[in-house]
Structure 1
Amino acid sequence: MSPALALLLLSQVALYTTVTSVKVCGRPPTTDGIDSSTLKRVYEVGEEVTLTCEQGYLPSRTPSARITCTATGEWTQANLACSPKMCQIPRPLQPFAKGRTEAPFKSVLNFTCDDGYVLIGSNESRCLHDNTWSHPPPLCKAVNCPLPKPPSDGRIVHDKPLTGTATKYGQAWTYECHPPKAPSYERGFCMANGSVTEPPVCRDVSCPVPTNIPNGIITFAVMRQHGYKEKVRYACNEHYVLEGRDEIQCQNTGNWSSKPVCRAPCTVGIKRGRIFYNGKKIWIGDLKPNRVLHGEHVALYCLNKTGKCGYPVATTCNDGNLPIPGCFEEPGRMDYNLRPKTLPSEITMCASPPTSSPGNVTITR
């Protein structure tokens, strides 16, 4: 290579280096809310830009919005922060907004109505840049249903008096057939989709001959098949407690409604000791007969050995079963007959009984 050619190449390299060493600045960094629509992709050294908040935002502090592209290709520091404008949430909607009274720009409120109500208006509203909402809150109007049709061989009894020529969602009625027929179903409703229950079919229904219940009897009934809505009454044997309705009714399904149950009395299963029953203390030998009815409460006395005091623990008769509290210790014959005043029921009662064992209820008096 000749010296002249080498010199030319070196000059070109030097020229290239000089041109490419000039730095530029890219698009200025922005934070949420700063208007970037007018910003260029590249700026030359020395160019200045004044940042502003975009529509719907306000400067949150005294701004230093002018920035300059420096020779290092970096921008000077800006002190502009933009916060969104706020829209006032309508007062009736604030409970649904978890107590919030305002929502920021671009927020969206979504509206729905409960089942059985039709939404009148827009189902959403957006917070606009001028602190207003794009749509007012909608209305929720109750669904209307046409009047129901009665069965071909019966009538309708409405739960509430009707006004007008339509029913509203949630309103209900009972279908009745002319005796002795029974409706295939008894209840009708105005439903959420605006339709009503189709009328039932009236048909002949009978229930089988009623049967007795354990430890009880049927009263004032002829032992035969019974028609729709006919009733039979039950009673319990002496000392048994009837649980449930004392009457059963023949239903439109051809079955009887649920029978009651007769719950058995209990025996207090101790030989020696004192109990608290029906508001007074009783030696077990004086409980004659030894019988407690289902659901009644009895208290037996336990000893707090640490405090050397007694305390009553309640137990309940449940269909022939009366659990004895685990803390109760039946006294021996000697203590019971010769030293009764030393029994837990006779000594000083504890000011506060110890924590009772699971399944027992501690009582005080």
Structure 2
Amino acid sequence: MAPTWVLVLLGHMVLYTSVSSKKVCGRPPITDGIDESALKRVFEVGEEVTLTCEMGYLPSTTTPRRISCTATGEWTSSDLACSPRMCPIPGPLQPLAMGRTEAPFKSVLNFSCDDGYIMQGANESRCLHDGTWSNPPPTCKAVNCPLPRPPADGRIVHDKPVTGTTTRYGQGWTYECNPPKAPSFERGSCSANGTVPEPPVCRDVSCPIPTGIPNGFITFAVMRQHGYKDKVRYACNENYVLQGEAEIQCTNTGNWTSKPVCRAPCKVGIKRGRIFYNAKKIWIEDLKPNRVLHGEPVVFYCKNKAEKCGYPVASTCNDGVLPLPECFEEPGKVEYNLRAKTLPSEIAMCAASPPATPSSTARPT
């Protein structure tokens, strides 16, 4: 019985050997830019393939590179690399290219014009395989508008001299009416879509009797209603500072322009110490009267206890309020009268002031 089993086993071995297949190679590994149009999915052992760069790419070697399918089912190596051909970026566009002067094959430039300009040319350009662009950069031509019509009872004053029968996008003008009438709107311009506004209507306008301002007065005005473009002037009481335009004007809407505000002076809220004000050091009792005007700075002196030196900290009068720096410590009577030379304002100044913290810059007086 033993020989029978041997024959059976040999039969199986022959059958197995007859159905086994040879090694083959799949599509070779390729990098960007290598032409794969002629590559098959499967190659027999011993087959060769010549690798080339596809159109628009430059080879790293001057001679073609051939690779072979080996008995192990692997390909021989190749040192071919394909780099994209470059297109020079047009000079006028280089400031927008962040320092780049070239763009690789297949790059796309998209163009657009600002509002009020019409594009003449293609809105995109592609870098071609031969290193040129598919389209030149377009030009942006300013929109033109017809000249505006003046109001029926007035005229137009252009911001810039106008010649011909058109004006360009963005150029503006002012509408004026024959006195005492006012235009329903005063300004016009050539719009991005090439149109101009219809002229305004000239109409009678008056503003109410002007009112006073706190801590100030009207310098001269007849207390009556006022017409378009009439003006009234304000001033402040002594030691108050005028903030805003001193002169207001009656507008085409029948309202006055914004009135100014009179800002209050400040008192330096310390009893003992020395300050720097109006370009000189002053002991507080010598500040007579004790008053600084709105917007004026006052310098106080603080002490760096670790370094044993003084440093200046400025504060500004703001409409009656002069905040004291958080670091400022008002001296006691004995220290102020008997040891004045030890005060922060009198000792050596620090080489650098310590950095201020958000919570320790100033405190109200």
Q: What is the match of residue 32 of structure 2?
A: 32
CA distance in 2, matches of 1:341, 1:47: 101
Q: 1:268 to 1:34 in 2, by over 3 A?
A: same
Determine the structure 2 residue equivalent to 1:191: 191
- SS state at 2:355 partner: coil
Partner secondary structure for residue 285 of structure 2: helix
Q: Residue 68 of structure 1 aligns to which amino acid in structure 2?
A: S
Worse-matched range after superposition: 41-50 or 169-178: 41-50
8 Å Cα contact 1:251-1:257 kept in structure 2: yes
- The 3 A distance-change label for structure 1 pair 67 and 235 is same
Alpha-carbon distance between aligned partners in 1 of 2:108 and 2:343, rounded to the nearest angstrom: 75
Q: What does the per-residue CA deviation read over 1:50-78, in whole Å, with 9 as the maximum and x for residues that have no partner?
A: 22212111212355622334455544333
Question: Which residue of 2 is the match for residue 164 of structure 1?
Answer: 164
81-90 vs 348-357, which moves further: 348-357
Q: Report if the CA contact (8 A) 2:190-2:196 is conserved.
A: yes
Question: CA separation in 1, counterparts of 2:69 and 2:339?
Answer: 106
Q: Distance in 2 between matches of 1:44 and 1:347?
A: 96
TM-score by length of 1: 0.87
| Distance change in 2, residues 1:23/1:309 (3 Å) | closer
Judge conservation of contact 1:33–1:83 (CA < 8 Å) in 2: yes
Whether the aligned pair in 2 keeps the contact of 1:326 and 1:357 (CA below 8 Å) is: no
The residue identity in structure 1 corresponding to 2:327 is C
Q: Distance in 1 between matches of 2:44 and 2:343?
A: 104
Instruction: Report if the CA contact (8 A) 1:147-1:165 is conserved.
Output: yes
What percent of counterpart residues are identical?
A: 77
Indicate if the aligned counterparts of 1:63 and 1:79 stay in contact, CA closer than 8 A: no
Distance change in 2, residues 1:21/1:165 (3 Å): same
Which residue matches 2:181?
181
Q: 8 Å contact 1:63–1:81 — kept in the other structure?
A: no
Offset of 1:171 from its aligned partner? Answer: 0.8
Contact 2:268–2:322 (CA under 8 A) maintained in structure 1: yes
Q: Which residue of 2 aligns with 1:65?
A: 65
1:15 CA displacement = 8.3
Moved more, 337-346 or 295-304: 337-346
Q: Partner residue of 1:298?
A: 298
Alignment-derived partner of residue 279 in structure 2? 279
Q: Which residue of 1 aligns with 2:288?
A: 288
* Paired residue type of 2:48: E
Q: Is the 8 A contact 1:63 1:80 kept in 2?
A: no
- CA gap of 1:73–1:230, structure 2 versus 1, over 3 A, is same
Structure 2 CA distance for aligned equivalents of residues 146 and 245 of structure 1: 37
Q: State the alpha-carbon separation in 2 of the partners of residues 165 and 31 from structure 1.
A: 62
SS class of match (2:293): coil
> CA separation in 1, counterparts of 2:345 and 2:169?
63
Aligned to 1:316: 316
Deviates more, 1:42-51 or 1:191-200: 42-51
2:82 maps to which residue?
82
Equivalent-residue separation in structure 1 for 2:330 and 2:46 (angstroms)? 103
Equivalent position SS for 2:303: strand
**Amino acid in structure 1 at the alignment position of 2:344:** P
Aligned to 2:235, what secondary structure does the other structure show?
strand
Aligned residue for 1:5? none
Q: Which residue of 1 aligns with 2:98?
A: 98
- In structure 2, the CA distance between the partners of 1:131 and 1:344, relative to structure 1 (3 Å rule), is closer
TM-score by length of 2: 0.87
Counterpart of 2:169 in structure 1: which amino acid? Y
Post-superposition offset of 1:333: 2.4
1:292-342 deviation line (CA, Å, top 9, x unaligned): 111112222333333333333222111011112222222222333344334
Counterpart Cα distance in 1 of 2:317 and 2:293: 7
Provide the residue aligned with 1:117 in structure 2. Answer: 117
68-77 vs 159-168, greater mean Cα deviation: 68-77
CA distance in 1, matches of 2:96, 2:217: 57
Q: Structure 1 residues 84-93 or 305-314, which shifts more?
A: 305-314
Indicate if the aligned counterparts of 1:231 and 1:247 stay in contact, CA closer than 8 A.
Answer: yes
User: Which moved further from structure 2: 255-264 or 129-138?
Assistant: 129-138
Gaps of 5+ in 1: 1-9
Q: Which residue of 2 aligns with 1:50?
A: 50
Task: Tell me if the contact between 2:52 and 2:64 (Cα under 8 Å) persists in the aligned partners.
Answer: no
Distance 1:337 1:69 in 2: 104
Q: For structure 1, which segment, 285-294 or 343-352, has the greater mean C-alpha deviation from structure 2 after superposition?
A: 343-352
